[in-house]
């Protein structure tokens, strides 16, 4: 059981959206907030990412070829050839659709830059998954020779498909963009120093905590206790509970409840199985018990959540 993959898959609420942005200096692109997380890959040239939004801290980040940026909360921001270039919204650029990828063209007749920009729709709910909340608001993965070869390869493959579309490109590009999220997060997790890695970066590297997380994710309906999870981890009950809470950010049984609710939400969004089956697959003895726990977590009954998710799809 791959905990990182499972956690992200359970939060996904739809396919990623993306656009290839071609700017020629002077150019500035104002990007509105999106529900979920956003990303940028610099395929060619250079640019700046500017974030003056609340919590953005006046970010001024220079980006070069191969650089990847991930914004955890999809906040509004600007991409530009220079920090002083005025930015425009949809009214100031040309946009066309080419299969799964929109194409944005803007600017003048100066130096060119080519980027892939996009967003992942994530269900952050009323209580987002700690894997998500513990990430930095902005992750910058600069292109470095020999660093993160898989991420570099994915970026190169994307660039090649976008530069020279051929038979199959419309199917390949969305899959590569989908995989990019896992490559980005894995690269960031692996960049954290082993000696000081805390939070989920530490939890996924710690054999004991990872074993307990794997057990919870593999069998969310099992009647886990702190003692039985400690046995999976190979630690004493007290030692396990302390280490799990320190790394994951909450006690083992609180995380178990969270994961059950995350799993229930995914089942409700993606299928038509009866609520009784959802309850059974998430460790609740009845629809009533599931509904009570679900409403406490999401602020609405499971049936209402399912109907709302379908309307939003």
> Which residue segments constitute the domains of the chain, with CATH numbers given?
3-191 (2.60.120.280), 201-312 (1.10.10.60)
Higher pLDDT, 124 or 74: 74
Burial of 77 (0-12, 13-18, 19+ CB in 10 A): buried
Q: Which pLDDT score, from 0 to 100, does residue 134 have?
A: 82
What pLDDT is recorded for position 226?
98
State the pLDDT at residue 300.
Answer: 92
Among the listed ranges 2-6, 140-144, 265-269, which one has the minimum average pLDDT value? 2-6
Note the pLDDT of residue 54. Answer: 62
Identify the top-confidence range among 11-15, 61-65, 151-155, 178-182.
61-65
- Per-residue pLDDT tens digits for 45-95: 999 999 977 655 688 999 999 999 999 988 999 999 999 999 999 999 999
Rounded Cα distance between 301 and 306, Å, is 9
Q: Which residues on adjacent β-strands are paired with residue 94?
A: 105
pLDDT tens-digit readout, 227-241? 999 999 999 999 999
- pLDDT of 113 over the 60 cut: yes
Element (H, E) at 291: helix 287-298
The pLDDT value given to residue 100: 80
Contact predicate 152/143, CB 8 Å: yes
282 in Cβ contact with 290 (< 8 Å): yes
Summarised one tens digit per residue, pLDDT across range 270-283 is 889 999 999 999 99
Instruction: Look at residue 74 in the predicted model and tell me its pLDDT.
Output: 85
Give residue 35's pLDDT: 83
For residue range 141-176, what is the model confidence (pLDDT) as tens digits? 999 888 899 999 998 998 888 888 889 988 998 899
Please report the pLDDT score of residue 30 as a whole number: 96
Give residue 228's pLDDT.
Answer: 98
- Whole-number pLDDT of residue 77: 94
Select from 255, 264, 271 the least CA-distant residue to 214.
255
Contact 8, 181 (CB under 8 A): yes
Is pLDDT of 125 > 70? no
Tell me the helices (H) and strands (E) count for the chain, helix number first. 12, 11
Least confidently predicted of 10-14, 44-48, 260-264: 10-14
pTM for the model stands at 0.85
**To the nearest whole number, what is the mean pLDDT of the chain?**
90
Helix%, strand%, coil% for the chain, nearest 5:
45, 20, 35
CB of 106 closer than 8 Å to CB of 57: no
């Amino acid at each position: 059981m791959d905990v990182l993959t499972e956690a992200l898959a359970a939060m996904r609420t739809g396919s990623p959206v993306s656009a290839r942005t071609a700017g020629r200096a002077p150019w500035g692109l104002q990007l509105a907030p999106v529900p979920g997380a956003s990303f940028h890959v610099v395929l060619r040239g250079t640019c700046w990412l500017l974030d003056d939004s609340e919590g953005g801290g006046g970010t001024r980040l220079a980006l070069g070829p191969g650089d990847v940026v991930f914004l955890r909360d999809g906040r509004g921001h600007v991409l530009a050839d220079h920090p002083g270039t005025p930015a425009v919204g949809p009214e100031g650029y040309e946009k066309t659709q080419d299969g799964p990828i929109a194409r944005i063209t803007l600017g003048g007749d100066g130096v060119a830059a080519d980027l892939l920009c996009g967003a992942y729709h994530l269900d952050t709910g009323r209580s987002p998954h700690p894997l998500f909340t513990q990430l930095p608001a902005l992750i910058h993965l600069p292109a470095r020779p020999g660093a993160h070869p898989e991420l570099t390869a994915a970026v190169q493959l994307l660039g090649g498909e976008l530069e020279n579309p051929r038979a199959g490109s419309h199917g390949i590009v969305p899959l590569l963009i989908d995989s990019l999220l896992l490559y980005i997060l894995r690269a960031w997790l692996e960049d954290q120093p082993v000696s000081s890695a805390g939070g989920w970066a530490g939890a996924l590297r710690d054999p004991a905590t990872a074993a307990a997380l794997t057990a919870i994710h593999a069998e969310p309906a099992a009647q886990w206790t702190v003692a039985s999870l400690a046995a999976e981890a190979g630690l004493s009950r007290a030692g396990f509970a302390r280490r799990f809470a320190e790394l994951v950010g909450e006690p083992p049984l609180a995380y178990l409840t969270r994961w059950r609710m995350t799993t229930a939400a995914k089942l409700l969004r993606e299928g038509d199985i009866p609520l009784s089956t959802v309850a059974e697959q998430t460790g609740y003895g009845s629809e009533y018990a599931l509904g009570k726990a679900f409403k406490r977590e999401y602020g609405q009954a499971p049936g209402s959540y399912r109907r709302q998710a379908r309307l939003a799809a």
